[in-house]
């Protein structure tokens, strides 16, 4: 969701907050608010409070909303409606391991804080105009909340607790994807590749249309069509790449292919997969179910992907190759699993951090780029230009990969 106005933003913000509260209620109603202190997890009350805090910080407390990207992040802000908000919920300042030690709000108080910050945001949004640079911040908090919704899903998966991703297209999408068997013909389709010729390819965008110094608002890098309105700082500006001809799979590696690798090498089974006396099963939110071997293999790390490629004598695509294939190949299928690329997360030429400076820049050089989306990614967040990034050992997220031939 990148091209919006006040009306669409208002509806989207309300819709998303309803889904966030439904997700939180899943933890609350199943008595799973106490979670272990480990990487990839957060106390659910802290998660909800952080989402509400982030919205208030960039909207209600931000006295320079009207400046858009020109906002001075060091300016004095309004006080929070919650006295302890900064001490509790600022993820840049509250170390991960200390979040379990905080004396946070009760669940009901945290829900009330989330409702109050949303009401404040919507009231301020009504006073904006559709061409105001301030809309950047309303879009930012929408995207941030969508990211945390996906995190609530893979956190529930990690904990093995009952969970429903209400924002998916059909609440049982994840279940069907991993457990519904497909035909042999569909399995053969998974092995098809496409040829991409040598070319000069432009990654990213030419100019951010939030920049008040560039009113032309054209940031299409590869076509004459104008790109959607909103983007993240790490997608700017354009990066010119020389791509040699390559062959790329039309679909991500599936379980049938990945299990063949495991059987041949003795490599460890991924998270949430077990071998029974008759076949393989997958654990989905605490339930063991038959594994659909034609589904994309998921919960794989970048290191797992590299091990598979070494065995199969293939390689991961570079980010430029993935981007080019996704935008030029008709039958290129993406969107059920985040896809690791070969590349380390790095800025494009001319990178300038947006006001939320902690989003991209701190992670350059240490994380790997994933492209696409997963079945748990909110529709508001899905976009072919989106650059996800995680450290290479992460396998709790909904990550897989596709391959290029050598």
Enter the DSSP assignment of 236.
B
CB 368 within 8 A of CB 389: yes
Least confident of 128-132, 287-291, 310-314, 394-398: 128-132
pLDDT grade, residue 3 (50/70/90)?
confident
Given CATH 3.40.50.1820, say whether it is the number of domain 175-405: no
3-state class percentages of the chain: helix first, strand second, coil last, to nearest 5: 35, 15, 50
Edge-to-edge strand list for the sheet holding 246-249: 193-196, 246-249, 404-405, 314-315
> Which tens digit of pLDDT belongs to each residue from 27-77?
999 999 999 999 999 999 999 999 999 999 999 999 999 999 999 999 999
**pLDDT score, position 370:** 98
CB 204 within 8 A of CB 231: no
CB 295 within 8 A of CB 253: no
> First CA to last CA across the chain, in angstroms?
36
CB atoms within 10 A of CB 266: 7
Question: What topology does CATH give the domain 6-167?
Answer: 1.20.120
CB 36 within 8 A of CB 155: no
Measured CA distances, 148 to 13, 90, 238, 278, 355 (Å): 14, 14, 28, 37, 19
Domain extents in the chain: 6-167, 175-405
Residues 183-191 have a mean pLDDT of 54
Residues 69-95 have a mean pLDDT of 96
334 compared with 225, residue with greater pLDDT = 334
> Which tens digit of pLDDT belongs to each residue from 205-252?
765 545 443 433 333 344 433 333 789 999 998 899 999 999 999 999
Please provide the DSSP assignment of 254-311 as one string: BHHHHHHHHHHH-PPPPTTEEE-SSSEEEEETTEEEE--TTSBP-S--HHHHHHHHHH
CB 165 within 8 A of CB 171: yes
Predicted confidence (pLDDT) at residue 288 exceeds the cutoff of 80:
yes
């Amino acid at each position: 969701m990148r091209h919006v106005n006040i009306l669409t933003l208002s509806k989207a913000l309300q819709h998303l907050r309803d889904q966030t509260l439904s997700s939180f209620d899943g933890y609350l109603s199943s008595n799973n608010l106490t979670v272990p202190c480990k990487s990839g997890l957060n106390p659910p009350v802290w998660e909800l409070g952080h989402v509400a805090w982030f919205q208030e910080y960039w909207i209600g407390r931000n006295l320079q909303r009207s400046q858009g990207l020109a906002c001075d992040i060091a300016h004095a802000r309004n006080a929070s409606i919650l006295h302890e908000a900064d001490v509790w919920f600022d993820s840049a300042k509250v170390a991960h391991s200390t979040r379990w030690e905080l004396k946070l709000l009760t669940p009901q108080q945290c829900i009330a804080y989330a409702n109050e910050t949303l009401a404040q945001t919507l009231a301020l949004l009504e006073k904006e105009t559709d061409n105001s640079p301030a809309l950047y911040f309303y879009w930012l908090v929408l995207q941030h909340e969508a990211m945390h919704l996906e995190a609530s899903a893979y956190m529930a998966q990690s904990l093995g607790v009952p969970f429903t991703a209400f924002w998916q297209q059909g609440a049982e999408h994840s279940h069907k994807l991993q457990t519904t068997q497909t035909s042999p013909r569909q399995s053969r389709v998974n092995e098809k590749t496409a040829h991409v010729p040598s070319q000069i390819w432009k990654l990213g965008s030419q100019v951010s249309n939030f920049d008040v110094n560039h009113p032309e608002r054209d940031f299409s890098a590869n076509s004459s069509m104008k790109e959607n309105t909103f983007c993240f700082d790490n997608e700017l500006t354009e990066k010119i790449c020389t791509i040699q001809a390559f062959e790329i799979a039309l679909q991500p590696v599936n379980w049938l292919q990945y299990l063949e690798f495991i059987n041949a090498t003795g490599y460890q089974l991924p998270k949430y997969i077990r071998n029974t006396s008759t076949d393989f099963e997958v654990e989905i939110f605490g339930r063991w179910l038959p594994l659909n071997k034609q589904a994309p293999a998921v919960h794989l790390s970048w290191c797992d992907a590299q091990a598979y490629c070494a065995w199969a004598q293939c390689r991961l695509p570079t980010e430029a190759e993935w981007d080019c294939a996704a935008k030029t190949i008709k039958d290129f299928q993406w969107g059920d699993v985040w896809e690791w690329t070969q590349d380390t997360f790095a800025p494009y030429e001319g990178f300038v951090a947006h006001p939320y400076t902690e989003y991209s820049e701190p992670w350059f050089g240490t994380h790997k780029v994933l492209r696409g989306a997963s079945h748990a990614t909110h529709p508001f967040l899905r976009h072919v230009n989106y650059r996800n990034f995680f450290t290479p050992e992460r396998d709790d997220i909904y990550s897989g990969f596709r391959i290029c031939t050598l």
